[in-house]
Each structure stands twice: as structure tokens, then as C-alpha cells.
Amino acid sequence: MSSHIEPVDPAQQRLFAGLVTGVDLTRRLSDHEVAGIHAGMDRFGVLVFRGQRLDDEQQISFSRQLGPLEQATGDIAAPQDRRVSMEVNDISNLDKHGELLPRDDRRRLFGLGNQLWHSDSSFKQVPAKYSLLSARKIPASGGNTEFADMRAAYDALDAATQREVHDLICSHSQIFSRAILGFDDFSDAEREKWAPVRQRLVRRHPITGRLSLYLASHAGGIEGWPVPEARAFLRDLTEHATQRQFVYAHVWQPWDLVIWDNRVTMHRARRYDPMQVRDMRRTTLSNEVSSLDQAP
Ligand code: OGA
Ligand code: MN
């Protein structure tokens, strides 16, 4: 059976989230299948695969077929506390023994930053290209993931705002996004490791040529602007970019795998009951260059 991609929601999300059928990601893919996934990503920005019973090794080898991976250096767990290898981001509420993290655990509180709109690894000099999130265990309710289309959001800006944002450079850090939630429990080493990096506010997709707003709650300033003015503007842009007409809400089923392109989308987790297990694993493709090299 050959793979096929159609819109997840033909009525509302014509060109934003695609549903892929007829492909088994536990096996090595043909070059043709790999090319089909890249083409689907360029067209949609988010692809949903159902019923993919991947373990970490299978997820890593599938991800590597799409491009080079980044390491999970944005995680806050100490090396001896990690449940998964450095190729995998642990998007769960569990410790390494599989027990639920206590409500006030620092790793859990840090992880709540995922509930703010963001683009993965925008706080790294070389940020993320695709993220691949596999749902191993999900809570009975809640815990959706929402995606916003930053190409459509850019296109919908008025011309004066498009001109204004065209060449702006933002500074991104996980310290900024966590400060929004009042989380400041960082060691000196973490503050140093996550010192702000520069990213363009508007970037061009190297294949499609489309422009998108490169926003994230990690963005805490705009070069040359007073901080409060920059943050007020970034907040307005985020409010604009995350209006419902730009958003696809993914309702997870166990063994879903969702891939998104961090160059053209933002995403956020939604709340769920902290007494229920939610075990998701993320592999992440490196963008290989900074957004500074993807000028419009
Ligand atoms: C991520 C992330 C959202 C979620 O994996 O990068 O932000 O719903 N996840 O868990
Ligand atoms: Mn994320």
C-alpha cells in the first residue's frame, strides 16, 4: 500500500494539518516515502500519523531518515535523572522509575512552559526544523496539542506591520518563557547554558519561499527596542497569530505520531490532570542553520 496524505479536517484546515495513511514508520522507508513526507511537510506544516507503535529506537531511526537530529539539551532533568537517551526529549510527567512527578517537582514545573505558545529550540543558536512527537500513554481527557500556522498569520498582517517586522531580530531564552509563569529556579550553570540567542522575527522557508512569523514565548526582546515595548509588541503579534482561524487542535490517540515544522508553526500543550500519566517522546530535527540565515 502506498502512502497518501489528505487534510485532517477538510472543512476547516485545508492546507495546514495533513493526515498520512498507508505508511508503517516502524520499518525502513523507501526514498520515495521519505520524499513524500518532506513534500507533505512543505505543503501542510503539520502531519498526523495514526497507529504507529514505535519504541524509542524505532522513533530515532525513522527520524534520522528525515535528517540530522538535535540533542535534548533543552531539558532540565540532570543526566542521572533522565528516562530516555539524549536523542529524545522526555515530554512526560514521569520520573525515571515511571512514577508520577510530584505536583511541585521542578522538572514538572519547568515542563509547564510547554503550555505557552512556542517553536521548539528557538532558544538555541541553531533551532529545530521538524519535531516528531509520539504518544505512548495519554490521559483520559485534556492534554491536546494546538498548532498555529505562522505563514497564514504573516500573510494576514497589514502591509505596514509586514514592513515593520521584516528585519527585526529577537532574543530568545528559556529563562524568558519560564519567567512568564513565575518559574525562576535556575542554577548558574543553566542560566549560562540558556543565555539568549538571536533569531529573525520573519524568516523564509527555503523550499516554498513563503514567509512566516518566527515567534515563541522564549522571545523576550527585540534588538534596539526598549524591553517593555518589545514584549508588548511580541504579545500583540502572538495574539494575532494564534486566532482560532490559524489553529489546529490535535486530540491525541495512543500511538499517534505528529510531525510539525517549527519554521512555520507554533504549538502549545493543553492542561490535563497531573494525577494521570501522559507519556510522550519527542525527537527533533536540527534546522542546521540559524534563522539569521533564512532572511526574507
Ligand atoms: C513538545 C511540546 C506539547 C505537548 O513536545 O515540544 O511542546 O502537548 N509538546 O506535549
Ligand atoms: Mn514544544
Predicted confidence (pLDDT) per residue in 14-62, tens digit: 569 999 999 999 999 999 999 999 999 999 999 999 999 999 999 999 9
- Return the closest-CA partner of residue 274 out of 92, 136, 60, 65: 92
Is residue 12 predicted with pLDDT exceeding 80? no
Q: How far is the CA of 159 from the centre of ligand 1 (A)?
A: 32
Mean of pLDDT values over 165-179:
98
Confidence of residue 152 (pLDDT cuts 50, 70, 90): very high
Q: Is residue 153 part of a domain?
A: yes
For residue range 129-138, what is the model confidence (pLDDT) as tens digits? 999 999 999 9
For residue range 284-293, what is the model confidence (pLDDT) as tens digits? 999 999 999 9
Q: Is residue 50 part of a domain?
A: yes
Mean of pLDDT values over 107-119:
97
Is residue 183 predicted with pLDDT exceeding 90? yes
DSSP structural state of residue 100: B
In this structure, which ligand is nearest to the CA of 114? 1
Write down the residue that cell numbers 522526555 correspond to: 90
Asked if 67 and 167 count as a contact pair (C-beta separation under 8 A), the reply is no
- Return the closest-CA partner of residue 128 out of 282, 287, 259: 287
Q: In this structure, what CATH number is given to the domain that contains residue 33?
A: 3.60.130.10
The structure's pTM equals 0.97
Q: Is residue 78 part of a domain?
A: yes
In this structure, the residues whose C-beta lies within 6 A of any atom of ligand 1 are 91, 114, 120, 131, 133, 145, 267, 269, 280, 282
Q: Is residue 252 part of a domain?
A: yes
Amino acid at 256: D
Q: How far is the CA of 167 from the centre of ligand 1 (A)?
A: 29
Q: Is residue 20 part of a domain?
A: yes
Whole-Å CA distances, 110 to 103, 106, 287:
11, 6, 24
Confidence of residue 184 (pLDDT cuts 50, 70, 90): very high
Task: Tell how far CA 127 is from the center of its chain.
Answer: 10
Distance, in Å, from the CA atom of 68 to the CA atom of 221, rounded to the nearest integer, reads 30
> Which residue has the CA at smallest separation from atom 4 of ligand 1?
269
Per-residue b or e along 248-265, where b marks 16 or more CB atoms closer than 10 Å to that residue's CB: bebebeeebbbbbbbbbb
Q: How far is the CA of 133 from the centre of ligand 1 (A)?
A: 7
Expressed as residue numbers, the domain containing 225 is 4-288
Q: Is residue 294 part of a domain?
A: no
> Which residue has the CA at smallest separation from atom 6 of ligand 1?
120
Q: Is residue 293 part of a domain?
A: no
Ligand 1 atom, smallest distance to 118 CA: 7
In the prediction, which pLDDT does 163 show?
Answer: 98
Asked if 40 and 18 count as a contact pair (C-beta separation under 8 A), the reply is yes
Percent residues over pLDDT 90 in the chain: 95
Sign of the dihedral defined by the CA atoms of residues 247, 253, 254, 259, in that order: negative
Is residue 1 predicted with pLDDT exceeding 90? no
Q: How far is the CA of 202 from the centre of ligand 1 (A)?
A: 23
Is residue 13 predicted with pLDDT exceeding 60? no
Provide the number of structural domains found in the chain: 1
Distance, in Å, from the CA atom of 72 to the CA atom of 97, rounded to the nearest integer, reads 20
Write down the residue that cell numbers 512569523 correspond to: 213
Q: Is residue 131 part of a domain?
A: yes
For residue range 235-253, what is the model confidence (pLDDT) as tens digits? 999 999 999 999 999 999 9
In this structure, which ligand is nearest to the CA of 91? 1
Distance, in Å, from the CA atom of 195 to the CA atom of 268, rounded to the nearest integer, reads 22
Ligand 1 atom, smallest distance to 284 CA: 6
Whole-Å CA distances, 198 to 42, 116, 173, 210, 220:
25, 20, 9, 21, 11
Q: Mean pLDDT across the chain, nearest whole number?
A: 96
Whole-Å CA distances, 91 to 114, 159, 280:
9, 39, 5
In the prediction, which pLDDT does 2 show?
Answer: 76
Q: Which residues contact 64 (CB under 8 A, 6 or more apart)?
A: none
> Which residue has the CA at smallest separation from atom 8 of ligand 1?
269
Q: How far is the CA of 31 from the centre of ligand 2 (A)?
A: 28
Instruction: Among 84, 88, 130, 133, say which to mutate for ligand 1: greatest number of ligand atoms within 8 Å of CB.
Output: 133
Distance, in Å, from the CA atom of 218 to the CA atom of 122, rounded to the nearest integer, reads 7
In the prediction, which pLDDT does 14 show?
Answer: 57
Instruction: Among 107, 124, 268, say which to mutate for ligand 1: greatest number of ligand atoms within 8 Å of CB.
Output: 268
Is residue 113 predicted with pLDDT exceeding 90? yes
In this structure, which ligand is nearest to the CA of 146? 1
In this structure, which ligand is nearest to the CA of 218? 2
In the prediction, which pLDDT does 17 show?
Answer: 95
Cell of 269: 500543550
> Which residue has the CA at smallest separation from atom 7 of ligand 1?
114
Amino acid at 193: K
The string of DSSP codes covering 78-121 is -GGG-SS-TTSEEEESB-TTSPBPPTT-HHHHHHGGGGS-B-TT
In the prediction, which pLDDT does 98 show?
Answer: 96
